[in-house]
Amino acid sequence: MDEFALIMRHEDGKKVASPEQIQAWMKQTMDWIGGIAAQNKFVSGTGLPFDDAWVITTKNSKSIVTNGPFGEIKETIGGFIIVKADSVDEAVEFAKNCPVLQGEGNSMEVRKIARKD
Amino acid sequence: MDNRELIPHLFRTEFRKITSVLCKIFGIDHIEIAEDIASETFLSALETWTFNGIPANPTAWLYNVAKNKAKTYLQRNHVFKNKIASQLKQSATEAYEIEIDLSDKNITDSQLQMLFAICHPSIPKEAQVGLALRILCGFGINEIADAFLTNKETINKRLFRAREKLRTEKVKIEFPGETEINKRLETVLTTIYLLFSEGYYSESQDTVLRTDLCVEAMRLTQLLIDNEQTNLPSVNALLSLMCFHASRFDARKNENGEIVLYQDQDESLWNAELITKGMFYLHRASYGNILSTYHLEASIAYWHTIKEDSHEKWENILQLYNQLLQVAYSPIAALNRTYVLSKANSKQEAIIEAEKLSLPDNHFYFTLLGELYTGIDNNKAKQNFQKALSLAKTQTDRNTIQKKIDTI
């Protein structure tokens, strides 16, 4: 069994949602993760809040630190979870059910975790 | 309390104290000697009290006799005297002059240290529970065999191997160091919880025995709470959990010994005192930054003490199960979570999720599917209940499932 990272991408992290909407997304995400955990396929995961988010780039050999992953980069990572799956297809099935996909333009990325051995 | 009740009662409360204190003096290598002396003490009580009447202070009488028996043993047994007495921790010049400290403090300390010794990570779980029942709860071999639904020989073998292990691993009867305590405590709590579950879920028909197991597990947890070093959030959470579960003890089986499902239970049979106690310890568990599985399970059990259905109740339970499964998966938690999902969200959603759980050998899985399909697709409901019926292992379970089939 392999491990896969399911990465949640938001099209535009700056979009402001209502507290009710955020609450609904949170619940759906928690239920989604709970459903994977109920199949004993959950490994770990975390959300990535936008507070204290910085982007470091290099220009003319100098580091440039900018506030937040916003600005020129429109797409942001909202969080990720790592799951166990028998195949990449199973991991993709998990990803398909992620509530983040309800948002137009949002996406999920599935990446296999490099084996340690 | 008459003679017939007094001795079993004293046996339950004093056997472990005498054994723990003596074993601490003799060392874990001679755990049977400590057990034997404690047993002989009770035999003496039976013989003496029957003819002379019960002494004014039966406990003091027992301690006195145990002390004398221990001293006599040390005097008479030359091998023991030469080989072991010389290694005794106390520096008595003569072995038989050794002071046997049966003060409250030493009794409590010895019991706690014994608990840590028995719950040593090197000893198999089943054996830990057996040893704990024997030494810390004063259960007889027959009672242990009955609780585990097995025979005396199996239990004796299991205990024998466990004692051997204590010897070969040179387990010391002492408190683990400050840095080790949390890790060791985890094993201790697992064993105590197993002890509790053994009583709570045991198929044994002996209700008194099953209740006793639960009470003993709670008493051991209380012992840890009363001790400053081990009065930690997870320990309080475990006691809280056990209080909530135990509060339903009388409601969850009917007079025929059949399981009464949660939704069918008569809540007037729930023990209000234990529920209050559970809330008290859950509150005491709510500090620090470690959220143990006991915290999550206790919180789930807390919500179950509110009989009334509400969206808030089921939503809270669902999120607690979501969290619990992330840190500690178990098939039963996965099944419960799916049932709760049907309550908090919808049956349709729960069916989709249930079909994803692959638990083809688990009769509870098919009972759940039957439950979820009832009212939505009764044919499928029946098929699943039939499948559950064919997989169920006990008559109690079969009866419960058959009732479900009959009501569709």
Domain CATH code at residue A89: 3.30.70.1060
Give B333's contacts in chain A (Cβ within 8 Å). 38
Closest CA to B192 of B128, B144, B250: B128
Compute CA A77 distance to the chain's CA centroid, rounded to the nearest angstrom.
5
Residue of A39, A81, A96 to mutate for B, most B C-beta atoms under 10 A: A39
Task: Establish if B341 touches chain A: CB-CB under 8 angstroms.
Answer: yes
**B126 in any annotated domain:** no
Task: Supply the DSSP string of B154-190, one letter for each residue.
Answer: HHHHHHHHHHHHHHHTT--SSPPPTTTHHHHHHHHHH
**B176 in any annotated domain:** no
B259 vs B252: CA distance, rounded Å? 6
CATH of the domain at B361: 1.25.40.10
Name the token pair of B247. 């509060």
| A73 and A62 Cβ atoms separated by less than 8 Å | no
- Establish how many alpha carbons lie within 13 A of residue B185's alpha carbon, considering only the half-sphere containing its beta carbon: 22
ipTM score? 0.85
pLDDT, tens digit, for every residue of A1-41?
899 999 998 886 566 677 788 888 889 999 999 999 999 99
**A102 in any annotated domain:** yes
**What pLDDT score was predicted for residue A8?**
93
Count of residues for chain B?
Answer: 408
Give A33's contacts in chain B (Cβ within 8 Å). 322, 326
- Comparing CB atoms, the residue among A27, A31, A37 nearest residue B326 is A37
Give A81's contacts in chain B (Cβ within 8 Å). none
Compute CA A74 distance to the chain's CA centroid, rounded to the nearest angstrom.
15
Residue B321 CB contacts under 8 Å (≥ 6 apart), including other chains: A34, B300, B333, B336, B337, B340
**B370 in any annotated domain:** yes
Q: In terms of CA atoms, which chain B residue is nearest residue A39? A: B357
Kindly report the nearest CA distance between residue B330 and chain A, in angstroms: 8
CB contact under 8 A, B326 and A34: yes
Task: Establish if B357 touches chain A: CB-CB under 8 angstroms.
Answer: yes
Task: Establish if B372 touches chain A: CB-CB under 8 angstroms.
Answer: no
Give B334's contacts in chain A (Cβ within 8 Å). 37-40
State whether the Cα torsion B198-B203-B206-B211 is positive or negative. Answer: positive
B95 vs B85: CA distance, rounded Å? 6
Return the H-helix or E-strand segment holding A64. strand A62-67
**A10 in any annotated domain:** yes
Q: Which of A103 and B356 is assigned the larger pLDDT? A: B356
Q: In terms of CA atoms, which chain B residue is nearest residue A38? A: B334
Residues of chain B with pLDDT under 70: 1-4, 78-98, 203-205, 209
pLDDT, tens digit, for every residue of B69-106?
988 887 777 556 566 656 665 544 444 456 778 888 88
Name the token pair of A87. 């195949």
- Comparing CB atoms, the residue among A33, A38, A40 nearest residue B353 is A38
3-state class (DSSP) for residue A113: coil
Kindly report the nearest CA distance between residue A17 and chain B, in angstroms: 22
Domain coverage including residue A74: 2-112
Percent of chain A whose pLDDT exceeds 70: 89
User: Which of B50, B68, B102 is the endpoint of a domain?
Assistant: B102
| B233 and B287 Cβ atoms separated by less than 8 Å | yes
Say how many domains are in chain B: 2
Give B329's contacts in chain A (Cβ within 8 Å). 37-38, 40, 42
**A71 in any annotated domain:** yes
CB contact under 8 A, A38 and B338: yes
Beta bridge partners of B54: none
**What pLDDT score was predicted for residue B93?**
47
CB contact under 8 A, A34 and B318: yes
Domain coverage including residue B34: 1-102
- Comparing CB atoms, the residue among A34, A39, A40 nearest residue B322 is A34
- Establish how many alpha carbons lie within 13 A of residue B319's alpha carbon, considering only the half-sphere containing its beta carbon: 12
**A117 in any annotated domain:** no
Give B341's contacts in chain A (Cβ within 8 Å). 31
Name the token pair of B374. 């009832």
**A50 in any annotated domain:** yes
Residue A43 CB contacts under 8 Å (≥ 6 apart), including other chains: A3, A81, A82, A83, A84
CB burial readout B164-194, b (16+ within 10 A) else e: ebbeeeebebebbeeeebeebbebbbbbbbb
User: Which of B77, B102, B127 is the endpoint of a domain?
Assistant: B102
**What pLDDT score was predicted for residue B92?**
47
Say how many domains are in chain A: 1
Rounded to 10°, the helix B104-118/B181-201 angle is 90
Return the H-helix or E-strand segment holding A109. strand A107-112
CB contact under 8 A, B345 and A31: yes
Give A31's contacts in chain B (Cβ within 8 Å). 318, 322, 341, 345
- Comparing CB atoms, the residue among B326, B329, B356 nearest residue A33 is B326
